[in-house]
Structure 1
Amino acid sequence: MPETGPPALGEPWEYTLYIPHDLRAVTVSRRTLRLILAAHDLTALSDTAELLATELVSNAVRHTKGPAALRVRWSAGVLRVGAWDGDPQPPEPPRPFTALTDAEDGRGLALVRACADLWGWQPLARNGSRGKLVWGDLDAV
């Protein structure tokens, strides 16, 4: 059986999956991400990357009114998983986990912050529409 080590850095790549304003898009995004990572021999990152995608896409669909997109980028040993939406307002800052023990919702960005090596957001326009990209990075090396 061949040994599996950290993935080769390889050439950078990027995928964008445009999704409708529909919560079913969260499942589609997660499954698409799993296939992308398998195609690039990055399955070791799948579980955490899927959690990031689930939280980020879910927030984009739940808290905005328009379409959204899942963006996945690989560069220099870092996987960036992000969700674009048409609302240019910054996301609410994540609350500490201790404040979320009995909360029904509001855990999304706290999970992103806990699981990602780095996370953030940036203004990002698409086809003349202002919006934002909220992302989490996973270091593979």
Structure 2
Amino acid sequence: MVTVSPQKSGPSASWAYVLQLPHDPLAPHIARGTLRAVLAGHGMTQFTDTAELLTSELVTNAYQHSTGPATLRLRALGDTRLRVSVWDANPHIPPPFDEHPTPLHPVPATAGGGRGLFLVCHYADAWGGYPLGGDLFGRGGKLLWCELGPWADGQAAAA
């Protein structure tokens, strides 16, 4: 069952939505549709194209590398930043989310995968991942996240 729950957090410019996704090949499509509706509803359409790509890659990674459900969380950090997080039950943090290599190297042409998370790291302003030891519901797994918004020096992020 797919559910969407708005969560208030802080000032009116801050909000969060949580979408529970079953282990289903339609999960990335449903996540993209939800993302578009949330961003349009909150007047943050400047993020739509890039956020849609990054959300799709994070949810697809959860579907491909986990056997259970996933959770998508969309969160505004004020009026100018968006955080996208995806939880899944697999505790393994995949590269390049396991560390921040400098510089970020492209995936070799002969590799069978790994391009999706490379795209996330390339287009996001910030990104990371960490294992979860368990929450109130007894779930472990991992959380991969990325942020979009103005660069730290005040310039807009290139999409």
Q: Same fold (TM over 0.5)?
A: yes
Deviation string, structure 1 residues 48-97 (Cα, Å, up to 9, x no partner): 00011000000001001111011101113320011110112222326722
Q: How far off is 1:104 after superposition? A: 4.2
- Which 4+ residue blocks in structure 1 deviate beyond 6 angstroms? none
Tell me, yes or no, if the aligned pair for 1:100 and 1:107 is still in contact at 8 Å.
no
Distance 2:93 2:109 in 1: 24
Correspondence for 1:3 = none
Correspondence for 2:101 = none
Between the two proteins, what is the percent identity of the paired residues? 45
Distance 1:105 1:122 in 2: 21
Deviation string, structure 1 residues 1-25 (Cα, Å, up to 9, x no partner): xxxxxxxx95211011000111111
Deviation string, structure 1 residues 73-127 (Cα, Å, up to 9, x no partner): 1113320011110112222326722x33354421011000000000001234441
Amino acid at match of 1:100: P
Residue 82 in 1 paired to residue 91 in 2? no
Match for residue 49 of structure 1 among 48, 51, 68: 51
Residue 132 in 1 paired to residue 139 in 2? no
1:2-81 to 2 correspondence within 5 Å? 10-76=12-78, 77-81=80-84
Gaps of 5+ in 2: 1-10, 98-103, 151-155
Correspondence for 1:119 = 127
> Normalised by the size of structure 2, how large is the TM-score?
0.75
Higher relative contact order (CA 8 A, sep 6+): 1
Correspondence for 2:105 = 96
Tell me the secondary structure at the aligned position of residue 148 of structure 2: strand
Distance 2:60 2:71 in 1: 11
> Size of the alignment, in residue pairs?
132
Gaps of 5+ in 1: 1-8
Distance 1:22 1:42 in 2: 28
In proportion to residue count, which structure has more helix?
1
> Normalised by the size of structure 1, how large is the TM-score?
0.84
Tell me the secondary structure at the aligned position of residue 100 of structure 1: coil
